[in-house]
Amino acid sequence: MTDTPIVSVRDLRVYYGTVRGSVRAVDGVSLDIGAGEVVGLVGESGCGKSTFGRGILGLLPEGAASNGEVIYGGRNLVGMSPKDLRRLRGPDLGLVFQEPMTRLNPLMRIEDHFKETLEQHESNLTDREIRRRSLETLGRMGIPPTRFRQYPHEFSGGMRQRIMIALALVLRPKLLVADEPTTSLDVIVEAQILAILADLRETFGTALLLITHNLGIVAEACDRVAVMYAGKIVEEGPARDVFIEPAHPYTKALLSSTISLDTEELHSIAGAPPNLIAPPLGCRFHSRCPDAMVVCGWKDPVELQLGEGRRTACWLHGPAEEIPPGETAPLERTELAVAEEA
């Protein structure tokens, strides 16, 4: 990346308070997103990827505490007042959720959804202008103007998701966070929506953080990918490089467990992700890692740069001088039961 990123996250932590203790959903995550960039964030359910997406937008539920930095336009969004955050959300930072049915008001026409959104954030627009902007954005999402006055129930699932995306994009945000935007859609419709998202840069100049558990989606649509495990980013880099030559054993395992048409043998990842109330010492993946060494069981891995824009946190890549002598020996582990799984 040559330009300064639009959003720069530094050491973000988000903890949820529960009766059993605090859950460290996001535990010291740093990530930059450049202008117009499409970044994929992948991981198993419960790894903290959705919390991270919401943390960026300051949309955390009650009982969540966050610290660290989310720098946008020179200001830190962590700790910003709800009022200031609301002003940024929408025109600057947009969000698209899964399950579009639950996000549109069934009693409001599509037209009114757009009117409400635009009036809220750009109160100087005339009705004529609102209509023009809305129709243009919807059109680029493939929704014809003939349907502008219809209600949400008159649209199919895929069209509703297009409307949701249009509703976020009509404000021309600099960054759109899309959390599993295609999960409940059919394969062909999913591919249609992905084609739209992958083109956001050309059509709207918007950067995209695409949160998903499906590596296939990331490979096809993203410039860069960050792999998250148990609240931490274990590897990040250009999507192409990471997929062709994954550095972290978790990335490798995740890739080989993805079932696609090219898959020749079924693979799965043994064991289950750790409890984030009391995360294990050392590397959080060590109990499931086929390559774990003695050092991995007690010492936090150090994040390393691996060439242009690539980083990973894994002792297999060093730094060798920080591994105590003899601790590169394989880690002895208790046998995992068959059903120890996610």
From 9-17, 57-65, 116-124, 250-258, span contacting other proteins (CB under 8 A) = 250-258
**Residue 215 or 292 with smaller CB distance to other proteins:** 215
Q: Which of 53, 152, 158, 274 binds other proteins (CB under 8 A)?
A: 158
Continuous segment of H or E residues that includes residue 238 = strand 232-238
The verdict on 309 binding other proteins (CB under 8 A) reads no
Q: Which is nearer to other proteins, 72 or 204 (CB)?
A: 204
- Could you count the other beta carbons within 10 Å of the beta carbon of residue 4? 11
210 within 8 A of 38, measured Cβ to Cβ: yes
- Per the CB < 8 A criterion, the answer to whether 226 and 236 are in contact is yes
> Residue 200, SS3?
helix
Binding mask 73-112 for other proteins (x = CB under 8 A): ----------------------------------------
Nearer to other proteins, 171 or 219 (CB): 219
Q: Report in angstroms how near the CB of residue 55 gets to other proteins at its nearest.
A: 22
- List 95, 209, 217, 331, residue binding other proteins (CB under 8 A): 217
Q: Looking at the chain, how many residues does it have? A: 342
Number of residues that bind other proteins (CB under 8 A): 62
Using CB under 8 A as the binding rule, whether residue 23 contacts other proteins is answered as no
Amino acid at 292: A
Cβ proximity to other proteins: between 277 and 342 the closer is 342
In angstroms, the CA 224 to CA 239 distance is 4
- Residue closer to other proteins, measured from CB, 79 or 142: 142
**Angle of CA points 242, 35, 52, to nearest 5°:** 60
Q: Out of 11, 79, 105, 259, point to the residue binding other proteins (CB under 8 A).
A: 259
Q: At what angle do helices 157-169 and 187-198 cross, to 10 degrees?
A: 10
Strands 75-76 and 93-96: unpaired
How far is the CA of 85 from the CAs of 10, 70, 80, 89, 265, in angstroms?
18, 12, 6, 6, 48
Nearer to other proteins, 187 or 329 (CB): 187
Instruction: Compare residues 13 and 131 and give the one whose CB is closer to other proteins.
Output: 131
The secondary structure of residue 116, as a DSSP letter, is H
Q: How far is the CB of 266 from other proteins (least distance, A)?
A: 4
Return the residues of window 113-152 that contact other proteins according to CB under 8 A: 131-132, 135-136, 138-140, 142-147
Give the one residue of 1, 65, 195, 278 binding other proteins; rule: CB under 8 A. 195
Q: Which of 180, 100, 112, 110 is nearest to 147 (CA)?
A: 110
Interaction between residue 266 and other proteins (CB under 8 A): yes
The 3-state DSSP class for residue 256 equals helix
Q: How far apart are CA 342 and CA 45, in angstroms?
A: 8
Going by C-beta distance under 8 Å and a sequence separation of 6 or more, which residues neighbour residue 309? Answer: 1, 224, 236, 237, 238
Check residue 244 for interaction with other proteins (CB under 8 A).
yes
Least distance (Å) between residue 76 CB and other proteins: 34
Find where tokens 């117009």 sit: 36
Q: Does 220 bind other proteins (CB under 8 A)?
A: yes
231 contacts other proteins (rule: CB under 8 A): no
* Interface positions with other proteins (CB under 8 A): 44-45, 131-132, 135-136, 138-140, 142-147, 156-159, 186-192, 194-195, 198, 213-221, 239-240, 243-244, 253-255, 257-263, 266-269, 272, 337-339, 341-342
